[in-house]
Chains A and B, each alone.
Chain A
Amino acid sequence: MSDTVLFAMEAALNGLTVGIMYSLVALGFVLIFKASGIFNFAQGVMALFAALTLVGFQNGQVPFAPLINAIFGTSVHDFGFNMPSLLAIPATVVVMVGMAWLIERLVLKHLVNQEPIILFMATIGLAFFLEGLGDIMWGAEVKRLDVGIPQGMSGAVDDFTYNWLGYGFYLDTLNLWALVIAGIMVTALVIFSQYTKQGRALRAVADDHQAALSVGISLRFIWVLTWSIAGIVALVAGIMWGSKSGVQFSLSLIALKALPVLILGGFTSIPGAIVGGLLIGVGEKLFDFFMQPVIGGATENWFAYMLALVFLLFRPQGLFGEKIIERV
């Protein structure tokens, strides 16, 4: 095989695995949109917040240390012990569930029956709030996140492709793990929504709010539930992306990577989020590979959006989205 074909294959493979990383973020959006029709802009910041909290627990940081120091003139920083990941992750999950409950209590409850754009704006407000809160609670410096997921070039893939094609493909082990984790997560979500009582209630609410209410499903409980699940998904995305780059402010910007995935896959479809991620990942890597010599690189920020835009012109509801039916 010629080098170009091999290189293109390598780029496409990498695109697939990176795409899964995008899907991890997009999943959180889909969950909330499906259950409550809210386009949750704060999903990226939730990932950052979850990762910050996890690292904070791991390192035994005192939350709100700068604020406490500013008010009381003390200088406390950490408790002086480290928490193992196995303990820190459940603790973070508890925090995320608590946050979901608070969001429902303080924000969503008061915005029932508002137009989608108002709810969307409220989540942007929420994003700002969480961004400031995360920084005040845990500080703004870069933190290393390591929960034991291996990183680096996958030797197995390298050897296998070298023996087979004469050229060793590069794949990041972390991305391969993301594939496994995304698989587990989607399976868990499917099992949850198909076979548990709460899951069925969730699907009922997603189908029709009013009908669900009339058969006695508590809408508010369902909202807390979806936001909790979205919080957990955010934690997973935060761990995966944070392992790559360290935990810092820019982590919240991964939300911008997930948006084109969403429109491509459709706002309401979990498989859509996965397939959309794969398509975007492969598309942008291949585009960069072929166009880089022509127009110079760094096209990733906009290519995904352009791809999604062109796609939308032919299918306005995304790949797997529910057909938009308009009634006049």
Chain B
Amino acid sequence: MKMTKLAAVLAATLVAAPAVAQDLHFPMLNYRTGPFAPGGIPFADGYQDYLTLINQRDGGIGGLPIRTSECETAYNTERGVECYESIRGDNPLILQPLSTGITYQLIPRVTADGIPLHTMGYGRTSALEGETFPWVFNYPANYWDGASVAINYLLEQNEDSLEGKKIVLIYHNSAYGREPIPTLENLSERYGFELVEVPVDSPGQEQSSQWLQIRRERPDYVIMWGWGVMNAVAIQEAANIRFPMDHFIGIWWSGSENDVVPVGAGADGYTALTFHGVGRDYPVYEDIQTYVVDRGMAAGNGDQIGSAVYSRGLYAAMLAVEAARTAQELAGHAQITAAEMRTGMEHLSITEERLTELGLPNFSAPFDVSCQNHGGSGAAMMQQWDADTQTWSLITDWIQSDRELIGELATADAAAYAAENSITPGCL
């Protein structure tokens, strides 16, 4: 008798538990430790600060508070799996794994479990094919966009002709570093420039032979796909061989303060791609100061605010919040599920007016997500480092990537994936 009562109570709590949870769960898979911690810390801070701001200023999204949970991956795939397993039963709405390796493991898992995955500026490029990868989103830009934008920028600089120019790609010898190669090879055929590939083995503490080679090659431009300590060393070596810094272009993961500050004055003029605004000249930072920093709720040490990767974390959080808002409108209720969140992400529309409302005017290129295109606009800007003021500044407007070419490459890759895993592409 007593036992049945107890069991009934237990069962009731178990059944009722999900309904009680009146909040929106935004888990964070961060890496504040390990070899890549310097890149992981600002992103995590930015992501968390923006969500704190939404909670503090607006009381959450649609009246529901955002609940964050942090899981430390140390950029390690096994820890990533552990983190995923620990949060997947806790109604996560959106996952940002922050690592290409973890992304590849999670793609089949989230597809089976029905949890949206947002890999912003990393991860699997062909995931922009929404029909093959319904649960994976990589808006607003991916690596192939990055390569294409870099070349388009150089075309702009050279009166639309790169004929006979020599461009070196120095890259992290890993899956990530090799991403741009097919795109760049393709573009080199089209525009007639010579592409020289120079790999650097992880971690890249010692690069003198690579830079001797670059010095011998006398390239017109160097494009870098680097990560971690490799960035700083490469920029240092480039400064050492007196390579003109404004002819040295890094991908967005090679364009943070961590990469240029250790080099000091030598890094002045180094350029990097970015798919979001940089610096603190956005009205939203006043709110962050008032509602987050002044209330003592800043994430981490609070010393990263306004840095390049912090902005990226903030941007990711902003997109997640906007997607949740869209999802709430579409669903007609505030307590959305992961599936409704996915629908929201698929109907996400970032417009200039909305960005201004959010206090982030021109922070992002406007874009619409659709079932077919999970990849956003593909536009990016160029930022340049000023060593005197220790700031990044934007030197171009949005530069559009060659989406036609990228679409072709992505369709082929997605088709191969679909065939390997017997997926029938289609909208959910």
A and B in direct contact, judged by CB atoms within 8 A: yes
Residues of A whose CB lies within 8 Å of any CB of B are 7, 10-11, 14, 18, 21, 65-66, 75, 77, 135, 139-146, 151-153, 170, 172, 175, 241, 244-251, 253-254, 257, 284-285, 288-289, 292, 296-301
Q: Roughly how many angstroms separate A248 CA and B261 CA in the complex, as a whole number?
A: 13
Given A18-B208, A142-B262, A285-B208, A246-B229 contact (CB < 8 Å): yes
With A284-B209, A300-B201 as contacts: A141 and B37 at CB distance below 8 Å: yes
Taken together as a complex, chains A and B put the C-alpha atoms of A146 and B212 apart, in Å, by: 24
B-chain residues with CB within 8 Å of residue A251 when the two chains form the complex: 205, 229
Question: What is the CA–CA distance of A300 and B266 in the complex, to the nearest angstrom?
Answer: 26
Residue numbers in A under 8 Å from B301 (CB-CB)? 65-66, 77, 139
Q: How many A-B residue pairs have CB under 8 A?
A: 125
Bound Cα distance from A318 to B175, whole angstroms: 36
Q: Chain B 278-302 against A: per-residue CB contact (8 Å), 1 yes, 0 no?
A: 0000000000000000001000011
Residue interface mask B85-102, A partner, CB < 8 A = 1: 000000000000000000
The complex places the Cα of A21 from the Cα of B205 at a distance, in Å, of: 12
CB of A297 within 8 A of CB of B236, answer: no
Partner of A250, one of B205, B210, B239: B205
Mark each residue of chain B from 224 to 266: 1 if its CB lies under 8 Å from any CB of chain A, else 0. Answer: 0000110011001001111000000000000000100111101
B364 CB to closest chain A CB (Å) equals: 26
Task: Using CB atoms, name the residue of chain B closest to A154.
Answer: B240
Chain B residue contacts of A139, Cβ below 8 A = 301
Residue of B nearest to A10 (CB): B212
Assess the B199–A245 pair: CB atoms within 8 A.
no
A134 to chain B, nearest CB (A): 11
Q: Contact check: which of B203, B213, B264, B302 meets A144 at CB < 8 Å?
A: B264
CB proximity of B90 to chain A, nearest CB, Å = 24
Check B216 against A75 for contact (C-beta < 8 Å): no
Closest CB of chain B to A161's CB: distance in Å?
Answer: 13
Q: What's the minimum C-beta distance from B198 to chain A, rounded to whole angstroms?
A: 6
Known contacts A75-B296, A135-B33, A248-B229; is-contact A142 B261 (Cβ 8 Å): yes
Contact of A300 among B209, B229, B236, B264 (CB under 8 A): B209
Q: Whole-angstrom distance from the CB of B128 to the nearest CB of chain A?
A: 29
Within 8 A of A (CB), among B5-44: 32-35, 37-38, 41
Given the known interface contacts A14-B208, A142-B38, A151-B240, the answer about A75 and B232 at a Cβ–Cβ threshold of 8 Å is no
Q: Are B208 and A144 in contact (CB under 8 A)?
A: no
Q: Is the CB of A248 within 8 A of B209?
A: no
- Interface status of B420 (Cβ within 8 A of chain A): no
A11 near B240: Cβ-Cβ < 8 Å: no
